[in-house]
Amino acid sequence: RAIDWRGTARTGKTHTKIYREERERPVLVLCDLSRPMRFGTQLLLKSVQAAHLTSLISWAAVQRGDKTGALIFSDTMHRECKPQSRKQSVLSICHQLIQISQTQSSAATSAQAFEDSCARARRLARPGSLVYVISDFSQLSPTACQHLTTLSRHCEVKALMITDPLEQALPDVPNQRRVQVTDGIHRQSWLLGSKQQQEQYQHFREQQSQHIKDALQLAGISLQLISAGQALDEQLNSQGFRSQ
């Protein structure tokens, strides 16, 4: 299998192929810092956990000798850091994470921002690149799925879905209590401590999560869940996470 038959026939001497481990593989991180990500009920905001994960992946890629870059976006702005193999590239990524995190988010453009960023990632990522998409995927539209599907045909794409404990189940309280909740636009009334309300909420969240999983699977993208309510190193160790 290792014989180079063309070289052998041309020279009359046996030539064998020598395989070398791929180095400087481009790694691109698509990090979502839009309005839906700026939510958290326990340890961290989802956007903060996403920033931590982006920096971790970037440092790990540079340490391996790979080129690392990022596309970081909020509702109103985005920054592109082209893949480079120097430590300065990671410092630039961290700087952009901080800068965008400090900007105010719009309440009406999150879905469009996610679609546009997926389109930019498709154009920016070179064939053969390793692409991480870090988001809660609440803005995963059919158009965004089309961009990600096209991207996965030429690159290895991994989705890291940031979740919050409140997105899995309502708080368990001893006595029923009615609370008002809002996402900044819409307002709802929830009855905490109600078994029926808990089941309806959990069923809705499970359907929403399954829809995202099915869409990403159809696009040929692997999915891993990361909680914003638990320290990142604990999760990565328990899940056997590898940034490669």
User: pLDDT at position 198, please?
Assistant: 87
Task: Please list, in sequence order, all residues whose beta carbon lies within 8 angstroms of the beta carbon of residue 94, skipping any fewer than 6 positions away.
Answer: 55, 58
The span from the CA of 143 to the CA of 17, in Å, is: 44
Over range 132-155, report the average pLDDT.
94
Q: Kindly give the residue spans of alpha helices, DSSP state H, lying in 5-156.
A: 5-11, 46-64, 87-101, 110-124, 142-154
The amino acid occupying position 175 is N
Element (H, E) at 239: helix 232-239
Contact 56, 94 (CB under 8 A): no
Over range 39-48, report the average pLDDT.
91
Q: Is the pLDDT of residue 226 over 90?
A: yes
Quick: pLDDT tens for 99-108.
998 886 655 5
User: pLDDT at position 191, please?
Assistant: 83
Contact 89, 25 (CB under 8 A): no
Q: What six digits make up the tokens of 172?
A: 């368990």
Q: What pTM was computed for the model?
A: 0.83
Over range 81-95, report the average pLDDT.
86
Q: CA angle, 117 as apex, 113 and 74 as ends, to 5°? A: 50
Q: What six digits make up the tokens of 56?
A: 């971790």
* 73 phi, psi to nearest 5 deg: -145, 150
Over range 64-86, report the average pLDDT.
88
Q: CA angle, 33 as apex, 32 and 36 as ends, to 5°? A: 95
CB atoms under 10 Å from CB of 123, counted, come to 9
First CA to last CA distance, the chain: 27
Percent of the chain with pLDDT over 70: 91
DSSP string, 178-232: EEEEESSS-EEEEEET-HHHHHHHHHHHHHHHHHHHHHHHHTT-EEEEEETTS-H
- Nearest CA among 205, 138, 135 for reference residue 166: 205
User: pLDDT at position 22, please?
Assistant: 52
Q: Is the pLDDT of residue 231 over 80?
A: yes
